Structure 1
Amino acid sequence: MRDLVEVAPGVHVATSRVYTTTSTVVVGAVGSCLVVDPGVTAREVDGLATTVRERGWTPVAVWSTHAHWDHVLDGPGLTGLPRWSGGAASTDPETLAAERDADPELARTGDAPAPIAALVAPYPRRAPDLLDWDGPAVRVLVHAAHARPHAALFLPDAGVLVAGDMLSDLEIPLLDLTADDPVGDYLAGLDLLASTGATVVVPGHGRVGGADELRRRLAADRAYLAALVSGSAGPDERLALPWLAQAHAAQLAAVGS
């Protein structure tokens, strides 16, 4: 995992070589911090926790944007911290561990996988959608796109949207095909994230982008979904990756006209 890079005041991002997965650390004025989606290998999670402490920060909790295996990982430097999310997870740790162990990209690293954390708890609320902690203001945006529930974080003072597994420059919208209306849920999630007016977006997989890039990604994701519903792939360069082409084929079979 690359070193933590400050992408906005108090917001630091590290990127894994596995699926270009991002981990975000939100730091408050007194050094308390929130660790978001630590990953992906055991070495990376341990290194992230070590870097946090070397910089003099004190992690107070770990946030999981959603309960897919690569977003609920643990390590010695994080074990025992509260685990927060936007709602109860429906997948048990044993199933998540099996999905992790079967993942081909993780296996190719040759590194030991990070352990799955205990199931997360609902976050402490200062207001209906405001995180109650001693760091900067964090709005919790819960929706049903990609996973149920899925919770992005928006930091209004910094203009940063930590989007979870959405708004990627590398991945197409990946739907929850077990939902009654996966495309409708995804479009509603995009609308919610767009309403923040964020100027920096941190996707769960991919590169950090500014305001213009955020608008481009919103348009690209909406165009992909429109093409999917109409029964086509559309001119989306993200489909060049074989595993995303396979995911697209499954989605086309499920929801395409």
Structure 2
Amino acid sequence: MPPRWRQRLTADVLRDLVEVAAGVHVTTSAVYSTTSTVVVGPDGSCLVVDPALTAPEVDGLAATVRARGWTPVAVWSTHAHWDHVLDGPALAHLPRWSAGVPATDRETLAAERDADPELARNDGPPAPIAAAATAYPEQSPGVLEWPGPTIQVLVHAAHARPHTALFLPGTAVLVAGDMLSDIEIPLLDLSAEYPVDDYLRALALLEATGAEVVVPGHGQVGRDLGRRAAADRAYLTGLVAGADTPDGRRSTPWTAAAHAAQQAAVGR
């Protein structure tokens, strides 16, 4: 008899995973177009990055990983906003890695999740908040120690402190976290002293990778790193100058609201 979990796999449980580069697979939630990434090594070991977003989606992602015969070794959170620290029963036993342990506690993150209007419109129950992440193991400074392909950990202070991106030099893939999105404006950490400067430094850090494939935390995978970085710089330049620079990413109600808040905080 097949394992019990395999008997439960149905079309509405499994998550579609699209291979965007060798060994890098991405799936996208209906909520905020949130991406989950699975990096798979030659032996089937895999790293699950930012599993999202509802409980059925996270459970379905874990089921798909198992159905493909992969073995997850850890979960990576690019940063500590509620939609990037989600968990599920099939992932909870795994180490949760990040570049730093944030001050925000699980209760606060859960309250932010439960108050989110877009998530509330979804029929599925929310995924649970994971236990606090621990520092990732390094085989050399800034390089993740794990069985799969080389992953460089890029740490910066844009959007959240800390925030990380993962760069795979072997395939030139950049898993960018909540940056370089085709549907989101740059979302600043308004609690920082110099949020725009922090963001510009992070853009330079990510652009210097020369990545050929960009996986944003929200939106579509692209092969246009330079164009995305230029669009973000143009937005930030206009924001600081108080100019109403056209940007189609401000068209949704929630990005328009975020833009208004940022304009009030840093615009002239």
| TM-score (ref. length: structure 1) | 0.98
* Equivalent residue number for residue 229 of structure 1: 240
The 2-side partners of 1:230 and 1:93 are apart by 37
Amino acid at match of 2:218: H
How many Å apart are 1:78 and its aligned residue? 0.1
What is the distance in 2 between the residues matched to 1:252 and 1:110?
33
Q: Deviations over 1:163-193 (max 9, x none)?
A: 0000000000000000000000000110000
2:39 maps to 26
- Between the two proteins, the alignment pairs up a number of residues equal to 255
Alignment-derived partner of residue 159 in structure 1: 172
- State the alpha-carbon separation in 1 of the partners of residues 63 and 260 from structure 2: 41
Aligned to 1:250: 261
* Aligned counterparts, 1:90-169, within 5 A: 90-169=103-182
Answer with 1 or 2: which has the greater Rg. 2
Q: Give the CA RMSD over aligned residues.
A: 0.8
CA distance in 2: counterparts of 1:121 and 1:233, whole angstroms: 41
- Check whether the contact 1:224–1:233 (CA below 8 A) recurs between aligned residues: no
Q: Report the CA distance between 1:80 and its aligned residue.
A: 1.2
1:51 aligned to which of 64, 70, 76: 64
| 8 Å CA contact 1:123, 1:131 repeated in 2 | yes
In structure 2, relative to structure 1, the CA distance for the partners of 1:85 and 1:100 (3 Å cut) is: same
Q: What is the CA–CA distance in structure 1 between the aligned matches of 2:44 and 2:24, rounded to whole Å?
A: 12
Runs of 4+ in 1 over 6 A off after TM superposition: none
Structure 2 runs not aligned, ≥5 long: 1-13
Alignment correspondent of 1:73: 86
3-state DSSP of counterpart to 1:201: strand
Indicate conservation of the 8 Å contact 2:172/2:213, yes or no: yes
What whole-Å deviation, never above 9, does each CA across 1:144-175 have from its counterpart, x for those lacking one?
00000000000000110000000000000000
1:2 positional shift: 5.0
Using the TM superposition, give the Cα deviation of residue 47 of structure 1 relative to its aligned residue in structure 2, in angstroms: 0.2
1:233 shift after superposition:
2.9
Q: Identify the residue that residue 18 of structure 2 maps to in structure 1.
A: 5
TM-score (norm 2): 0.94
Q: CA deviation at 1:79?
A: 0.8
Percent of aligned positions with the same letter in both sequences? Answer: 72
